[in-house]
Amino acid sequence: MNNINYLTTINFGLGAAESLSEILFELGVSRPLVISDHGIKSAGLLERPVFGFLKAAPIFLDVPSNPTESAVAAGLALYRQGGCDGVVAIGGGSPIDLAKGVALLATHDGELERYAAILGGVARITSAVAPLVAIPTTAGTGSEVGRAALITLDDGRKLGFISPHLIPRRAICDPGLTMGLPPALTASTGLDALSHCIETYLSPRYNPPAEAIATDGFQRIWKALPVAYADGSNAEARTELMMGALEGGMTFQKGLGAVHALSHALGGLKEAKLHHGTLNAILMPTVLRWNVKVEAVAQKVGYLERLAGLEHTTLADALDGLNHSLGITPRLSELGVPRHVIDWVCERAIADHSHPTNPRSLTKKDYAAILETVF
């Protein structure tokens, strides 16, 4: 038996953010905690008229690029101090993931760790999670429709918290909120979304609806990302990119793979601050070359190559070319990753919740070889 579930209510399109006040009324949320970050505030997004009614709401902005247990605790304290009854997350994957952690602990007792997936926490998360509305301002993570939050604990472990109850009650996807995104961030978040579509499609789990969504998302992102990178004000490209990112998030239930097992581990490093999407972009071509040795994967990759219009090059080589054209470095060392962490990263990758759904069985030694290739 295969459990296939889709997913939450999504308001999508230019101007969709105008529906926020109505959605909060429908959910019975009268005093939301707003979770965003300083970059979003500096960009002026929170000052837009559509969010004007939130000015009286408590707001939490101290969101790390990789959400942490201590930041969840700080957000939770503000939630309780303000007598809040729901959460509105405005931003990329980091504010949305952090908001999931706050919404969880607002209604569930104990330490955050006890709700981690690899520690048996899935069954402990109930429908009592506080109402959450997610408004992405990037087209990348898909967290607005994802059932997972990735949070780094105080001891350095970056763990996944997974439950259908963590899927935001409503998602508002307004491509207009991404118009001012700089090219570098457009590239890294867009490549993150592309990696979601590729990895979920190649996952060995049986879920044809997810595969259809993943391939549609792949095709949209492949065409739209270079256009949005070159012209951030192109509304059609921004809309296609946001839809592709949304579709990538809708397919998470099929499982990811080695790219994310490694990027989750690397994201937990204290030695360097690393962008999740950039890591996925760097790792994807090499992991693809490893996985394509499995016949079933080779057939699926062939289909993606046809969708991308590739006739004389492999998808892995084309991804290398795409990364280069979007200014993505091919080397982890250039991001400040020290070589001595490789063994630690490989151990964390083996323990990651994305490891079991890689289409090729990989060992710690295999992971080390992959990292050496992109070091």
Q: CA angle 190-257-217, nearest 5°?
A: 35
pLDDT exceeds 60 at position 186 = yes
Helical axes 258-267 vs 183-202, angle rounded to 10°: 130
Measure the N-to-C terminal CA separation of the chain; round to a whole number of Å. Answer: 41
Q: Give the model's pLDDT for residue 6.
A: 63
pTM recorded for the entire structure = 0.90
pLDDT exceeds 50 at position 3 = no
pLDDT exceeds 50 at position 79 = yes
pLDDT exceeds 80 at position 7 = no
Query: How far, in Å, CA of 315 to CA of 201, rounded?
Result: 14
**Reported confidence tier of residue 1, pLDDT bands at 50, 70, 90:** very low
pLDDT exceeds 90 at position 274 = no
Residue 348 has which token pair? 């964390």
DSSP letter string over 105-130? Answer: HTTS-S-GGGG-GGGT-GGG--TTSP
Instruction: Please give the average per-residue pLDDT across 311-318, as a whole number.
Output: 96
* Bridge partner residues of 9 (DSSP): 170
Q: CA angle 314-320-324, nearest 5°?
A: 145
Residue 351 has which token pair? 């323990």
Q: Give the model's pLDDT for residue 158.
A: 80
For the chain, the maximum distance between any two Cα atoms, rounded to a whole number of angstroms, is 60
